[in-house]
Amino acid sequence: MEDRSLSREPSPGFSAAACAGSNIAFVKYWGVRKEPPGAGMPLNPSISMTLREAVTTTRVTFRPDSLPERDTLVLNERPGPPEALARVTRVLDEVRRRASLRAPARVMSSNNFPTSTGVASSASGFAALALAAAAAAGLPCAPQDLVDLALMGSGSACRSLYGGYVLWDASFGQEPEANPVRQIAAEDDWPLVDLVAVVSREAKKVPSSQGHLLAWTSPFLEARLSQARTAARIVEKAILDRDFETLCQAMEAEALSMHAVMMTSKPALLYWLPETVAVMQKVRSLREQGGVPCAFTIDAGPNVHVIALPEAAPEVRREIEALPGVEEVLFCTTGGGPRLLEADGPCD
Amino acid sequence: MEDRSLSREPSPGFSAAACAGSNIAFVKYWGVRKEPPGAGMPLNPSISMTLREAVTTTRVTFRPDSLPERDTLVLNERPGPPEALARVTRVLDEVRRRASLRAPARVMSSNNFPTSTGVASSASGFAALALAAAAAAGLPCAPQDLVDLALMGSGSACRSLYGGYVLWDASFGQEPEANPVRQIAAEDDWPLVDLVAVVSREAKKVPSSQGHLLAWTSPFLEARLSQARTAARIVEKAILDRDFETLCQAMEAEALSMHAVMMTSKPALLYWLPETVAVMQKVRSLREQGGVPCAFTIDAGPNVHVIALPEAAPEVRREIEALPGVEEVLFCTTGGGPRLLEADGPCD
């Protein structure tokens, strides 16, 4: 598990570009701590796979000579929305504090995957931002140096600071010294495929940040947290053992358990669409009747991630694409950690 | 709440016919006690509405002169399956014991609604059987005399012994004297409509009897039982207050909570089909965006019961029928308790 990312030295030139892959969680977190307010620390550990094909590329340029104006954000070649800029500035403020910089920054960021397809652009986006900003400011750039920065933008972004399979154990967060994020296995140790069945591109009505607080209104939250902690141990071991069958069972149970909490909160969050269930039922039948190595997982939205062994991916993709209402199937494999770029460009 | 059912005297002639309506539970039970084995007493109270239009008519004829052969069962004009006959004989054995009879019986039963449409034929069937068999054997025939008999066939059958809205509080079952089943309000007190959206006629893969035992494998069972007890109090009060809005909220939360237990059991029970979710989402949007008084509830299967105020029923029916994959919408209203029939025939 040699760390092959971030092999280049941070740029000293007030400008740096970095790219990072999104990730899909096999064990998800749902529900964040109420105290301290706004901290948003998750109530249970999560485990994800970093995605190779779904990446964000971000350039950060601090402008010491410019007037003390605000940071600017260009997202996918358009001005970024105010909420996104506010989160970006939160990260940059901390970088400026650590580097004793006062300059505002220009941030240009673009995803190579379409938005609202169930792939978390905040995960790849804030991982790339943390690395590019730290490098541009001449700060240390090892993944463990970036965890706090990435977390200021998005919880799941801290998992995108490593390649392969990554554990984020929030309970470690209590001790400031301990690194709450670590790699379980590298991307080459166990290549898997994530086929994202896109059934809707509509933005969800209740954003995750709001949903995380609603989690407390479900009568199942407490039981779910205990179940998720067990699931994290099982999934970590399954990854270390390359035990896909165990991973499948644990991953599906995990996703269903999270959605059970969502649909029993007040108000009930029903993220599923008819097509969501169609994909779930197809995946279960492919595996249970057809012996095809695949399993589903679902984030806080209607799109379904189908995790498969590489040799099964073509068949799974064919079957999923044939379902009515599946608009598109995105193909991703296990990817590495974020990288500093010599020049702007795609990650690979 | 005058009891207008069972006004006729039990027949002394070794033969009687009765009809009973099925019911739809607003607060369901899921999970049965493990001890004593086979008793199948539910872990939480349930509340249902008896259905007027979905009825079973059953004639029981004891044949003292015939050879001591086995009971026979004709179900919808065909020989009944062995599992059904076994349950029928269990009820008849208890009737024979109480009446000191030894004669085998011929049971002829028919439903006026199609099977596998999400309407429980066991509820109406065993309520009608209990009444017809008791009457034919000259036993007492008040609803409270029939609870034990109906329960030997099917749990939900005991709720079909009363019309209107019925509470079955299993925790009362501990004291043999207490009647665990009672009417909350009569059918005329609050007429509601149940529109059953039939999206599949396939028999479910995992029968309820098996599912009830799987409930223990869900990490959410304990929290669910406590939630269901609260829901029963809320729903009982909503029925007494004719508070449809509160009923809607509690009923949907209740159904989602039961299905959350099902989908987190091991193995996971996923009773929903794509069309199930389509109906759920449509009902929620009719109510929340359109102000249409309706709410869904779902038994252990894919079909959706949409409960509505009578004035909203035509609109709800039109909207639900228009959804792709909805094969049929059955129309039911609040019905009365079982009745002894002079001659075989429909209940109304």
Q: What is the mean pLDDT of residues A200-227?
A: 89
Query: For residue B308, which amino acid is it?
Result: A
Cα dihedral value B196, B202, B206, B207, nearest 10 = 60
The model's confidence at residue B172, banded by pLDDT at 50, 70 and 90, is very low
The model's confidence at residue B47, banded by pLDDT at 50, 70 and 90, is very high
Chain B positions with Cβ closer than 8 Å to A: 219-220, 222-224, 226-227, 252-253, 256-257, 259-261, 263-264, 266, 268, 270, 272-278, 280-281, 284, 325
Extract the runs of DSSP E, i.e. beta strands, from chain B: 15-27, 46-62, 72-75, 78-79, 105-111, 165-168, 181-185, 193-198, 294-298, 304-308, 328-333, 339-341
8 Å CB contact of A281 and B268: no
Q: Which has the closest alpha carbon to B113: B104, B126, B122, B105?
A: B122
- Tell me how far apart the alpha carbons of residues B317 and B307 are, in angstroms, rounded to a whole number: 11
Q: Which has the closest alpha carbon to A264: B273, B262, B235, B32?
A: B262
Q: How many CB atoms within 10 Å of residue B70?
A: 9
- Average pLDDT along chain A: 91
Q: Which of A264, A270, A325 sits opposite B257 (nearest CB)?
A: A264
**Of B227, B263, B281, B285, which to mutate for an interface test with A (greatest number of A Cβ within 10 Å)?**
B263
3-state SS of B136-169? HCCCCCCHHHHHHHHHHHCHHHHHHHCCCEEEEC
Contact B71, B104 (CB under 8 A): yes
Helix (H) or strand (E) holding A240: helix A221-241
Our CA-based measurement puts residue B143 at a distance from the nearest CA of chain A, in whole angstroms, of 35
Summarize pLDDT for B299-323 with one digit per residue, the tens: 999 999 999 999 999 999 999 999 9
**The domain made up of A15-187 is a member of CATH 1.20.1250.20:** no
Q: How many CB atoms within 10 Å of residue B201?
A: 14
CA angle B92, B95, B97 (to 5 degrees): 110
Q: Which residue of A has its CA nearest to B302?
A: A277
The domains of chain B are located at: 15-187, 193-333
8 Å CB contact of B266 and A253: yes
Domains A15-187 and A193-333 share a fold: no
- Tell me how far apart the alpha carbons of residues B208 and B118 are, in angstroms, rounded to a whole number: 12
User: Which residues of chain B have a CB within 8 Å of the CB of A276?
Assistant: 274, 277
Query: For residue B247, which amino acid is it?
Result: L
- Average pLDDT along chain B: 91
Q: Which of B219, B253, B277 sits opposite A223 (nearest CB)?
A: B219
Helices (H), A12-118: 82-99
The whole-number pLDDT of residue B205 equals 78
Our CA-based measurement puts residue B227 at a distance from the nearest CA of chain A, in whole angstroms, of 7
Percent of chain A with pLDDT over 70: 90
Pairing of strands B15-27, B339-341: antiparallel
The model's confidence at residue B207, banded by pLDDT at 50, 70 and 90, is confident
- Tell me how far apart the alpha carbons of residues A265 and A165 are, in angstroms, rounded to a whole number: 30
Q: Say yes or no to pLDDT of B4 above 50.
A: no
- Tell me how far apart the alpha carbons of residues B81 and B107 are, in angstroms, rounded to a whole number: 13
Q: Which of B256, B275, B284 sits opposite A274 (nearest CB)?
A: B275
Contact B332, B54 (CB under 8 A): yes
The whole-number pLDDT of residue B348 equals 56
8 Å CB contact of B222 and A223: yes
Q: List the A193-198 sheet strands across, edge first.
A: A294-298, A304-308, A193-198, A328-333
Query: Under CATH, to which class is A193-333 assigned?
Result: alpha beta
The whole-number pLDDT of residue A33 equals 80
Q: Which has the closest alpha carbon to B54: B116, B6, B1, B8?
A: B116
The whole-number pLDDT of residue B210 equals 85
Our CA-based measurement puts residue A28 at a distance from the nearest CA of chain B, in whole angstroms, of 15
8 Å CB contact of B268 and A277: no
Rounded to 10°, the helix A82-99/A143-153 angle is: 140
Q: Say yes or no to pLDDT of A20 above 80.
A: yes
Our CA-based measurement puts residue A205 at a distance from the nearest CA of chain B, in whole angstroms, of 13
Summarize pLDDT for A143-192 with one digit per residue, the tens: 999 999 999 999 999 999 999 999 998 754 455 445 689 999 999 999 99
Summarize pLDDT for A91-129 with one digit per residue, the tens: 999 999 999 999 999 999 999 999 888 899 999 999 999
ipTM value for the complex = 0.88
